[in-house]
C-alpha cells in the first residue's frame, strides 16, 4: 500500500507539471481589467489641469452624458507625452444654449489630444453644439498649441463649428505676430455640419491688414485632413496665417447658405499668410466662389493646389445675395504685415472645375507667378481663365477647356 501511494503521488506530480509546462495545454486566460482612468470629468463647468494635478502623458476621461458646457484650461502636456482627453463609456454631448461659456472651450492648453475614440462602435465620441447666435461650438484659444482633434461631430453652431486661433490683444503683447506661434495643429476625421458661420475657422483672417492695428500669430504645422463639412452658413473651411500647411482629403458641400455678407459664402477660403499644399479635396455646391485664395504668397514660398474638384459653384449667381459676375476659383493679392515680401508661386495642377457660371478661374494677383497645368474647366459662360489685368503672370500647360473630353491623367483623379 505504501508503494502504491508513492506511485500515485509521482504520477500526480508529472500530470500537474505537464499541464503547466506543456505548450499544447492552454491555460484559462485572465480577463483583462476594465480601463479605469485616473482622472474623470463628469460635470459641466471649468476644469483646470494644474488644480487637478494632471501631468504630461495622463489620460483624462470625460464621462458620457449631456453637458451644458465644458471649459478645459491649463492642461499642459509635453513633447511625446500629450494629455489625452477622450469620451468614456459612451458619447459625450455638449449642448450649449447661452451666450457666455455656452460651448466646448479649450484655453491655455498645450500638447494635448482630444479624441472621440473612447467607446467601441461610436464613430464620434463627442457631439458638440452651440445654438446661441455668434457662439462657436468648439473653440481652441488662449495661446493653446500643439494639439490634435479627431472624431468630433459638430451638429450645430451659432457661428463657427471649430474655431482654432488666438486673436491679438492690445493688452497682451504675447499674442502678437512674432511673439507667439501656434504649432502642430492636427485636425482630422471630424464631421461638422449645420453651422451659421464657417465650418472650420483656423487662424485669424486679418493677417493681411491686422486687427485694430495688431497682426495675428502664425500657425506652423497645420495638418487638416479627412474631415466632412456640410451645410455651413459661411465657408466650409477657412484657414489663414499657415505657412507650409497640409490640407487634404476633405469633403466640403453646401456652403455659404446663410452668410452675414456676400463675401463670406465660398466653399473653401485660403487666407493671407498661408502656403503649402491643398490637395485631394472636393468642394461642391458653394453659394459663392468654390475656392477663394486671398493674399499673395510670400517670396520664396509656394501654394500648391492639386487634384481638387470644384463643382456647382455660384448657386446664387445673379440673385440679390450675390453679384452676377462670379467664378469658381479666385485668387488675388492684398496687403501684408510689415517686412513680409510677396512674390511666391501659386500652382494649380490636376484640378477640375465643373459648373463655374461666369468664369472658371479668375486671377487678380500680379506680384507672383501662376501656373495652371493638366486641368479641366467646364460649364463657364465667359472665360475658362480670366486675368485682370491681362499682365497677371500665367504659365498654362496641357489644360482642357469646354466640353472636350480630356485624356487620362488630366483633371481631378478619384482617389
Q: What is the mean pLDDT of the chain?
A: 91
- Say if CB 302 and CB 347 are below 8 A apart: yes
Q: What is the pLDDT of residues 27-84, one digit of tens each?
A: 667 666 677 888 999 999 999 999 999 999 999 999 999 999 999 999 999 999 999 9
* Coil, strand or helix at 249: coil
More confident position, 337 or 61:
61
- pLDDT for 21: 43
What phi and psi, each to the nearest 5 degrees, are found at residue 202? -120, 120
Q: Where is average pLDDT lowest: 1-15, 103-117, 398-412?
A: 1-15
pLDDT at 215 over 60: yes
Q: What backbone torsions phi and psi does residue 92 show, to the nearest 5 degrees?
A: -100, 125
Confidence of residue 189 (pLDDT cuts 50, 70, 90): very high
- Which range among 18-27, 103-112, 364-373, 379-388 has the greatest average pLDDT? 103-112
Whether 88 contacts 63, CB under 8 Å: yes
Q: Is the pLDDT confidence value at 232 over 90?
A: yes
Three-state secondary structure string covering 102-157? CCEEEECCEEEEEECCCCCCCCCCEEEEECCCCCCCEEEECCCEEEEEECEEEEEE
The more confidently predicted of residues 30 and 245 is 245
Q: What are phi and psi of 410, to 5 degrees?
A: -105, 140
> CATH second-level architecture of 160-401?
3 Solenoid (2.160)
Model pLDDT for residues 259-305, shown as the tens digit of each residue: 887 778 999 999 999 999 999 999 999 999 999 999 878 899 999 99
Band (18; pLDDT cuts 50, 70, 90): very low
Between the alpha carbon of residue 157 and those of residues 65, 67, 153, 232, the distances in Å are 19, 15, 11, 9
For the entire predicted model, the pTM comes to 0.91
Helices (H), strands (E): how many in the chain?
A: 2, 31
Phi, psi of 342, deg, nearest 5: -95, 175
Report the candidate in 304, 307, 367, 301 with the shortest Cα–Cα distance to residue 332.
367
**CB distance 330 to 310 below 8 Å:** no
Domain range annotation of the chain: 160-401
Amino acid at each position: 500500500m505504501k508503494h502504491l501511494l508513492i506511485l500515485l503521488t509521482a504520477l500526480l506530480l508529472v500530470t500537474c507539471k505537464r499541464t503547466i509546462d506543456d505548450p499544447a495545454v492552454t491555460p484559462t486566460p485572465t480577463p483583462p481589467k476594465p480601463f479605469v482612468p485616473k482622472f474623470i470629468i463628469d460635470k459641466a463647468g471649468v476644469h483646470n489641469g494644474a488644480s487637478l494635478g494632471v501631468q504630461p502623458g495622463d489620460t483624462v476621461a470625460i464621462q458620457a452624458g449631456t453637458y451644458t458646457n465644458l471649459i478645459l484650461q491649463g492642461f499642459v502636456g509635453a513633447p511625446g507625452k500629450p494629455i489625452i482627453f477622450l469620451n468614456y463609456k459612451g458619447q459625450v454631448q455638449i449642448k450649449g444654449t447661452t451666450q457666455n461659456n455656452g460651448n466646448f472651450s479649450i484655453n491655455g492648453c498645450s500638447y494635448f489630444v482630444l479624441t472621440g475614440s473612447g467607446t467601441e462602435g461610436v464613430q464620434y465620441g463627442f457631439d458638440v453644439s452651440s445654438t446661441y447666435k455668434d457662439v462657436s461650438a468648439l473653440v481652441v484659444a488662449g495661446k493653446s498649441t500643439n494639439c490634435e482633434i479627431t472624431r468630433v461631430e459638430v451638429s450645430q453652431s451659432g457661428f463657427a463649428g471649430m474655431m482654432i486661433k488666438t486673436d491679438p490683444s492690445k493688452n497682451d503683447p504675447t499674442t502678437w505676430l512674432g511673439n507667439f506661434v501656434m504649432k502642430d495643429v492636427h485636425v482630422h476625421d471630424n464631421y461638422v455640419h449645420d453651422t451659421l458661420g464657417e465650418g472650420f475657422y483656423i487662424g485669424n483672417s486679418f493677417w493681411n491688414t491686422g486687427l485694430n492695428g495688431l497682426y495675428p500669430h502664425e500657425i506652423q504645422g497645420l495638418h487638416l485632413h479627412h474631415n466632412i463639412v456640410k451645410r455651413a452658413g459661411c465657408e466650409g473651411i477657412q484657414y489663414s496665417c499657415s505657412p507650409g500647411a497640409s490640407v487634404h482629403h476633405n469633403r466640403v458641400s453646401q456652403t455659404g447658405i446663410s452668410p452675414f455678407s456676400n463675401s463670406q459664402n465660398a466653399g473653401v477660403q485660403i487666407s493671407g499668410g498661408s502656403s503649402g499644399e491643398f490637395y485631394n479635396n472636393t468642394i461642391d455646391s458653394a453659394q459663392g466662389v468654390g475656392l477663394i485664395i486671398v493674399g499673395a504668397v510670400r517670396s520664396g514660398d509656394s501654394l500648391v493646389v492639386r487634384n481638387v474638384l470644384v463643382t456647382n459653384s455660384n448657386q446664387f449667381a445673379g440673385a440679390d445675395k450675390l453679384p452676377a459676375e462670379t467664378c469658381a476659383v479666385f485668387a488675388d493679392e492684398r496687403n501684408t504685415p510689415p517686412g513680409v515680401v510677396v512674390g511666391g508661386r501659386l500652382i494649380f495642377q490636376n484640378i477640375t472645375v465643373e459648373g463655374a457660371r461666369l468664369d472658371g478661374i479668375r486671377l487678380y494677383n500680379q506680384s507672383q507667378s501662376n501656373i495652371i497645368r493638366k486641368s479641366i474647366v467646364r460649364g463657364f459662360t465667359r472665360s475658362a481663365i480670366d486675368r485682370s489685368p491681362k499682365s497677371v503672370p500665367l504659365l498654362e500647360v496641357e489644360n482642357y477647356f469646354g466640353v472636350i473630353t480630356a485624356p487620362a491623367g488630366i483633371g481631378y483623379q478619384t482617389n
